[in-house]
Amino acid sequence: MRHTRIAFALAATSLALGGCAALGLGGGTAGESAAMAEKGKSWIEVAEGKATPSPAATTGKPIATPAVSLSAPAPDPSCTKIWPRTEPVMIPVEVTPGSGSLAVEWPAQYDSNYRITAVPQALVAGPQPEPSWQEVPAGAGCSVSTTITGLIPGEAYIVWLDAPNSGREVDGTRHLYSGRSGVVYPE
């Protein structure tokens, strides 16, 4: 059985190397190409030509490509309050602690509605509780404000602000336009 496999492998190899001439289909016999090689004739014909030049570095022309910008909108000139901007995609928030509450104010952006939450900073074992978002309409003035109530006095919180209708990128994803406060403590 083993010898049969070896013989089959040798036959397949010689057929592959001999090509069509081994089967008598090449217009001659397999011996013809060997005879041609002995006479100095090549069975492969090569047309003479010029050498291909070495590749050279080329520079292209600059073209304009569409780019997405995440810059903040220009402030309304009629608004007199100056809001600090630490990052171009963050809405600055101003938080004033109250009795078990936090009063939050931020500049109106993109005519979007908002949602806001106070996230407790106490360590929690296991899965983290989902934040409870409070919906806030867009408002008509230079700034928007709301109060978050029901908080534990003296506990640490960070206020998260989201503008869910601030527009979409070219690929359809939502603009990442949000804001947050530092750690704040209700009274």
Of the CA atoms within 13 Å of residue 185, those in its CB half-sphere come to 6
pLDDT tens across 54-97, in order? 777 767 666 655 554 444 555 566 787 877 766 655 788 999 99
Q: How many residues does the chain have?
A: 187
What are the Cα distances from residue 48, in Å, to 2, 52, 66? 49, 12, 48
What are the Cα distances from residue 156, in Å, to 118, 153, 176, 187? 9, 9, 25, 11
* Cα dihedral 7, 11, 14, 16 in deg (nearest 10): -130
Second-level CATH architecture of 94-184: Sandwich (2.60)
Which amino acid makes up residue 56? A
pLDDT for 100: 96
pLDDT for 116: 95
Strand partners for 117: 160
pTM over 0.85: no
pLDDT for 96: 96
Which amino acid makes up residue 51? A
What are the helix and strand counts (H, E) for the chain? Answer: 2, 7
Q: Where are the domains positioned within the chain?
A: 2-38, 94-184
Q: Write out the chain's pLDDT in tens, 187 residues.
A: 555 556 555 556 655 555 555 555 555 555 555 655 566 666 676 777 777 777 777 676 666 555 544 445 555 667 878 777 666 557 889 999 999 999 999 988 777 889 999 999 998 899 988 999 999 998 788 899 999 999 999 999 999 999 888 777 788 887 767 889 999 999 9
pLDDT for 1: 53
pLDDT tens across 43-65, in order? 676 777 777 777 777 676 666 55
